[in-house]
């Protein structure tokens, strides 16, 4: 008898507790939904009240969207601050891999981006493609801030595009300018084998094409000296690094000598082979009207002579 009575008491307590739990949970869920609604409408005082009442600042909608993501979409700094100070997760990720930072950046809310980064956003975790998304929309100011904060401008997306290629394809001149100044790789190709310059020229963006060509010409001047010096000294590692970035291998010094000529003249067989395989032009003549083959022959580098003669044939 006592056992039965004890059982019913326990059952009653369980039902009472469960009912209380689900009632509380239901109330909190409702408050959280109201919080999102208030964020969408920009009702700051209502948001404060709901947070104080117990709304969950990390509530997730079915798609994984949080209150902070909705606030990031609008870029309201006061609302963002309220949520962050109440414990909102700045690194939350939706079912579609969106983060508060990605959302704010893609909308061009630079001040919101600054606040999120200052609040502990991880620029590497889940935010690697942030500059690409921002470049796609031409948000130059946001791009500049992100680069200053350490975000890489050279991350590739699935089709091989970089932020620079994306900005060039959309005709966003200011974004292209900021990316170039921020160290974006100028010669990177996407899966179609196209650089930002190629994309811009094909689409008829004349100013962007000129901007990129000028940047490449300037880059060639700086890197060209390093390339020629490496070819002369036999620095294979440096040569291969320039080949890897698709640099123009046929830049010349004051005497009209190319990297191939200098390598051939100084007997650097491995470098000659690497340059030839990368497409260096062996028909170019220097100011003395000599080719790489003639220079190799003149300096008795027979293995290079054979290599160049065989390539010519």
- Nearest CA-CA partner of 285 in 277, 297, 293, 273: 293
Q: What is the pLDDT of residues 206-217, one digit of tens each?
A: 999 999 999 998
Cβ–Cβ under 8 Å, residues 28 and 56: yes
Separation of alpha carbons 82 and 124, rounded Å: 25
Structure confidence at residue 26 (pLDDT): 53
Buried b (16+ CB within 10 A) or exposed e, 249-259: bbbbbeeebbb
* Token output for 185: 């790789």
High-pLDDT (> 70) share of the chain, %: 89
Q: What average pLDDT does the chain have?
A: 88
Separation of alpha carbons 124 and 144, rounded Å: 17
CB atoms under 10 Å from CB of 234, counted, come to 16
Separation of alpha carbons 289 and 308, rounded Å: 17
Structure confidence at residue 31 (pLDDT): 84
* Token output for 261: 């000529």
List C-alpha distances in Å: 59 to 31, 73, 121, 139, 292: 10, 16, 19, 30, 69
H-helix or E-strand containing 198?
helix 196-202
Cβ–Cβ under 8 Å, residues 34 and 50: yes
Against a cut of 0.75, is the pTM above it?
Answer: no
Structure confidence at residue 21 (pLDDT): 40
* Token output for 301: 């580098």
List C-alpha distances in Å: 198 to 32, 65, 180: 50, 38, 15
Q: What is the pLDDT of residues 224-234, one digit of tens each?
A: 899 999 999 99
Long-range contacts of 175-178 (CB under 8 A, 24+ apart): 175/134, 175/135, 175/138, 175/139, 175/140, 175/143, 176/200, 176/208, 176/211, 176/212, 177/140, 177/211, 178/140, 178/143, 178/144, 178/147
CB atoms under 10 Å from CB of 304, counted, come to 26
Q: What is the pLDDT of residues 124-142, one digit of tens each?
A: 765 667 889 899 999 999 9
Distance in angstroms between the alpha carbons of the first and the last residue of the chain? 107
Domains and CATH numbers, the chain: 218-313 (1.25.40.20)
User: Under 8 Å CB-to-CB from 31, ≥6 apart: which residues?
Assistant: 50, 53, 54, 55, 56
| Dihedral, 137, 138, 139, 141 alpha carbons, nearest 10 | 170
Structure confidence at residue 2 (pLDDT): 54
- Range in 14-28, 39-53, 151-165, 281-295 with the lowest mean pLDDT: 14-28
CA triple 152-167-241, angle to 5 deg: 45
Averaged pLDDT for residues 185-193: 92
HSE on the CB side for 223, CA within 13 Å?
A: 21
Cβ–Cβ under 8 Å, residues 57 and 42: no
Averaged pLDDT for residues 6-24: 48
């Amino acid at each position: 008898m006592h056992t039965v009575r004890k059982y019913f008491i326990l059952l009653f307590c369980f039902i009472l507790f469960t009912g209380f739990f689900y009632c509380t949970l239901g109330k909190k869920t409702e408050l959280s939904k109201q919080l999102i609604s208030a964020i969408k409408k920009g009702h700051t005082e209502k948001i404060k009240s709901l947070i104080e009442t117990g709304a969950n600042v990390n509530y997730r909608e079915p798609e994984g969207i949080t209150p902070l993501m909705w606030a990031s979409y609008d870029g309201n700094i006061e609302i963002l601050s309220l949520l962050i100070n109440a414990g909102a997760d700045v690194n939350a990720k939706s079912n579609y891999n969106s983060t508060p930072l990605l959302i704010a950046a893609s909308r061009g809310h630079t001040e919101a981006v600054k606040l999120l980064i200052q609040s502990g956003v991880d620029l590497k975790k889940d935010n690697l493609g942030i500059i690409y998304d921002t470049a796609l929309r031409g948000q130059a100011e946001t791009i500049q801030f992100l680069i200053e904060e350490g975000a890489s401008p050279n991350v590739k997306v699935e089709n091989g595009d970089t932020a620079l290629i994306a900005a060039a394809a959309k005709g966003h001149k200011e974004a292209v300018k900021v990316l170039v100044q921020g160290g974006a790789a100028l010669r990177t190709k996407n899966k179609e084998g196209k650089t930002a310059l190629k994309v811009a020229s094909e689409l008829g963006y004349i100013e962007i094409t000129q901007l990129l060509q000028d940047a490449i010409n300037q880059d060639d001047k700086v890197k060209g000296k390093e390339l020629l010096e490496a070819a002369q000294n036999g620095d294979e590692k440096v040569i291969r690094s320039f080949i890897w970035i698709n640099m123009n291998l046929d830049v010349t010094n004051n005497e009209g000598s190319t990297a191939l000529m200098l390598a051939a003249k100084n007997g650097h067989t491995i470098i000659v082979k690497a340059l030839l395989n990368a497409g260096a032009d062996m028909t170019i003549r220097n100011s003395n009207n000599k080719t790489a083959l003639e220079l190799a022959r003149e300096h008795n580098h027979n293995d290079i002579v054979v290599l160049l003669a065989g390539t010519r044939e």
